[in-house]
Amino acid sequence: MTGSTANNIRLGVMAGDGIGHEIVPATQNVVAEALNAAGAAVEWVSLPLGRDAIETDGTPIPDSTLEALDGLEGWVLGPHDSASYPDEFRGQLTPGGVIRKRFDLFANIRPARALEGVSATVPGMDLVVVRENTEGLYADRNMFVGSGEFMPTPDVAIAVGVVTRRACERIAHSAFALARTRNKHVTIVHKANVLSMSTGLFRDVCREVGEQYPDVRVDDEHVDAMTALLVRRGADFDVIVTENMFGDILSDLTAELSGSLGTAPSVNASETRVMAQAAHGAAPDIAGHNRANPTALFLSAAMMLDWIAEKRDAHVFAEAARRITNAVERTIASGVATADLGGLASTSEFTEMVLARTTRR
C-alpha cells in the first residue's frame, strides 16, 4: 500500500489554507530532519487541497488527492478555511471531513499537556482526549447517505444522533490501549442521566471493553460535571474517552487549559492510517505574516510518527518523534516563543531553533 521501505517512508502532505502555507512546510523540514537524525528518510507526496485545489481542480478536495492518499499510511493535513470558499462549496463536507469519512478515521486523539515555558490555567495537566470521530450528533458524518440534520418545515430543525456498539468498542479499545502506555486511568465521559440510551450505550460498552484491561482504572463522569472538574482539578485525569460532540468541546477546553490552541496537537486515525492535523484552524487574521505558531503541527507530526512506529514495530520512527517533541519542548522552555505565547519569534525563527535541536540527542 505504502511504497515505503523499512527505514524510508512516503508521507502525504496537504498545505491547506491560511497559515497552512507557513506551518506545513516548516513541519516538513522538521520531520525530514528528525527522521534523518534517527537514521531514516522521508519522501513527501504533495497533494492539492483547499483554495489552491479550487483554482487548479475546481474542487477543494480533488479525487486525485483522495486516490493518492489511498496509497499512503500517513499524511500531514494543514488547516483549511472552508468558510471562505465560494458559495457553491459551502454546506458541503469540509476537505478534512471528506478525508476522515473516506478513510474511516474513527479516533481523534488530542493530548493536552502543559509545556514548561507556557503559562497554563491548569499547570500540571497531562491528559489525552480520545474522541469518537464518526457518529454522535454530527450530521455530516453519521449517515450512510444524506444528513443527520434536517428541517421538516422552516421553523422546525431535527438532528439525529447515532451510537453503535461497534464504534464504541473500537474507540474504547483505542483509549484503554493508550492508557496502558500512560498512567493506566480511563475516564468515560457521557450524559447517560439524560441521553440514557445513546450515551448510556457508549458508557456501558466502554465499561465492558474496560474489563479486558484489568490493570487500567476506570471511572466515568457526566459531561457537564466534567467541564467543572477539568477546570478545578484537570491534572488528575489521564485518558478521557468520549463521543464525538462532547470530545470536540472538551478537547478545545483542555487545549486552552493546558496552554493554547497554537500548541494543541491531534491525529485522526483508523486501524491502518494516520493523519496529523493541528487542532487549530487556518487563522486567516495572521496568515502570510510569518507569525503563526507551528508547535501544534510539529507535535501532531510527532504523534503520527509514533503511530507509524507502533504499527510497523519500527523504533526509528519513534526515535524521530521523540526528537521532534524534545526539540519543541526545549525550544519553548528556553524562552523562544511566537506571538500567541507572548514571545517575539517569527514562525521561521522558531522553526530554525527547533530544527537545530532536532539533530541533538
Residue 108's closest CA among 217, 265, 238? 265
Q: How far is the CB of 27 from ligand ATP (least distance, A)?
A: 11
Joined grid coordinates for residue 334: 528556553
Residues forming the site for ligand ATP (CB under 6 A): 19, 261-262, 280-283, 285-286, 292-293, 296, 340
- Give the residue nearest to ligand ATP (CB): 281
CA distance 122 to 114: 7
Q: What are the angstrom distances between the C-alpha of 208 and each of 170, 180, 205?
A: 12, 16, 5
Residue 311 appears among annotated catalytic residues: no
Q: How far is the CB of 84 from ligand ATP (least distance, A)?
A: 10
Nearer to ligand ATP, 168 or 275 (CB): 275
Nearer to ligand ATP, 91 or 124 (CB): 91
Q: Are 53 and 60 in contact (CB under 8 A)?
A: yes
**Given 191, 213, 220, 340, which residue is catalytic?**
191
**Given 138, 238, 306, 340, which residue is catalytic?**
138
Q: How far is the CB of 94 from ligand ATP (least distance, A)?
A: 9
Nearer to ligand ATP, 77 or 188 (CB): 77
Joined grid coordinates for residue 45: 507526496
Amino acid identity, position 20: G
Residue 138 appears among annotated catalytic residues: yes
Amino acid identity, position 33: E
Phi-psi bin for 39: left (phi > 0), alpha (psi -120 to 50), beta?
Answer: left
CA distance 136 to 13: 29
Q: Are 282 and 262 in contact (CB under 8 A)?
A: no
Helices and strands in the chain, H and E counts: 11, 12
CA distance 3 to 44: 12
**Given 81, 248, 306, 340, which residue is catalytic?**
248
Nearer to ligand ATP, 242 or 338 (CB): 338
Residue 220 appears among annotated catalytic residues: no
Q: How far is the CB of 282 from ligand ATP (least distance, A)?
A: 5
H or E segment and range at residue 305 = helix 295-312
Provide the pairing of β-strand 41-46 with 217-222: unpaired
Q: How far is the CB of 252 from ligand ATP (least distance, A)?
A: 9
Separation of CA 138 from chain center: 17
Nearer to ligand ATP, 37 or 261 (CB): 261
Residue 252 appears among annotated catalytic residues: yes
Q: Which residue has the cell 503563526?
A: 292
Residue 213 appears among annotated catalytic residues: no
Nearer to ligand ATP, 285 or 313 (CB): 285
Q: How far is the CB of 274 from ligand ATP (least distance, A)?
A: 21
Residues noted as catalytic: 138, 191, 224, 248, 252
